[in-house]
Amino acid sequence: MFQVDVDYLKKAKKRREYAPTVISILLGFAGIVSFLPLIYLVVTAFKPAEELFLYPPRFYVSNPTLKNFTDLVSITSNTMVPFTRYLFNTVLITVLYIFAMIVVGTMACYPLSKHKFPGAKGLFKLVTNALLIISGAAAIPSYIIVTGLHLDNTYLVYIIPGLANCTCMFLLKQFLDQVPDSIFEAGKIDGASEWQLYTKIALPLLRNAQATCVILTFPGIWNDSSASTTYIYEEQLRTFAFFMSTLQGGLARQGANAAASLIMTVPSIIVFIVSQSSVMDTMAHSGIK
Partner 1 sequence: MSKKEKKLKNEPSVVVDSDNQELATGKKKKDYTKSYFRFKLHEMGQFKMSYALIAPFFICFITFTLLPLIASAALSFFYFNALSLPRFIFWDNYLYLFVEDSLFLKAFSNTLYYAIIVGPVSYIASYFFAWFINQVPKRLKPLYTLAFYAPSLTGGVALSVVWLVVFANDSQGYINSALLNAGLITEPIQFLQNVNWIMPVIIIVSLWSSLGTGFLSFVAGFTNVDKELYDAAMVDGITSRFQRLIYIDIPQTMPQLLFSAVLTITGSFTVGGISQALVGHPSPEDAGLTIMLHLGDYAGQRFEVGYASAIAVVLSALVLGIGRLAFRLLSDKG
Q: Does 49 bind partner 1 (CB under 8 A)?
A: no
For partner 1, the binding residue among 158, 210, 258, 275 (CB under 8 A) is: 258
Give the nearest distance from C-beta 236 to partner 1 in angstroms: 23
Report the 10 Å Cβ neighbour count for 83: 19
State how far the Cα of 230 lies from the Cα of 147, in Å rounded to an integer: 10
Give the nearest distance from C-beta 235 to partner 1 in angstroms: 20
Q: Does 233 bind partner 1 (CB under 8 A)?
A: no
State how far the Cα of 222 lies from the Cα of 235, in Å rounded to an integer: 17
Give the nearest distance from C-beta 156 to partner 1 in angstroms: 12
Give the burial class of 205: count Cβ atoms within 10 A of its Cβ; 0-12 exposed, 13-18 middle, 19 or more buried: middle
Residue 55 contacts residue 245 (beta carbons within 8 Å):
no
Smaller CB separation from partner 1, 50 or 80: 50
Contacts (CB under 8 A) with partner 1, residues 7-36: 8-9, 12, 15, 19-20, 23-24, 26-28, 30-32, 34-35
For partner 1, the binding residue among 61, 192, 219, 235 (CB under 8 A) is: 219
Give the nearest distance from C-beta 122 to partner 1 in angstroms: 5
**Between the CA of residue 276 and those of 70, 125, 208, what are the distances in Å?**
33, 29, 10
Residues 6+ apart with CB under 8 A from 265: 38, 41
For partner 1, the binding residue among 61, 91, 130, 183 (CB under 8 A) is: 130
Give the nearest distance from C-beta 136 to partner 1 in angstroms: 7
Q: Does 257 bind partner 1 (CB under 8 A)?
A: yes
Residue 222 contacts residue 236 (beta carbons within 8 Å):
no
Q: Does 127 bind partner 1 (CB under 8 A)?
A: yes
Phi, psi of 58 (to 5 degrees): -120, 135
3-state secondary structure of 122: helix
Contacts (CB under 8 A) with partner 1, residues 61-100: none
Contacts (CB under 8 A) with partner 1, residues 172-201: 194-195, 198
The residue length of the chain stands at: 289
**Between the CA of residue 89 and those of 16, 71, 130, what are the distances in Å?**
53, 21, 30
Q: Does 274 bind partner 1 (CB under 8 A)?
A: no
Shortest CA distance to 46 belongs to which of 72, 28, 20?
Answer: 72
Smaller CB separation from partner 1, 88 or 272: 272
Smaller CB separation from partner 1, 105 or 187: 105
Site string for partner 1, 132-171 (x = CB under 8 A): xxxxxxxxxxx-xxx-------------xxxxx-xx-x--
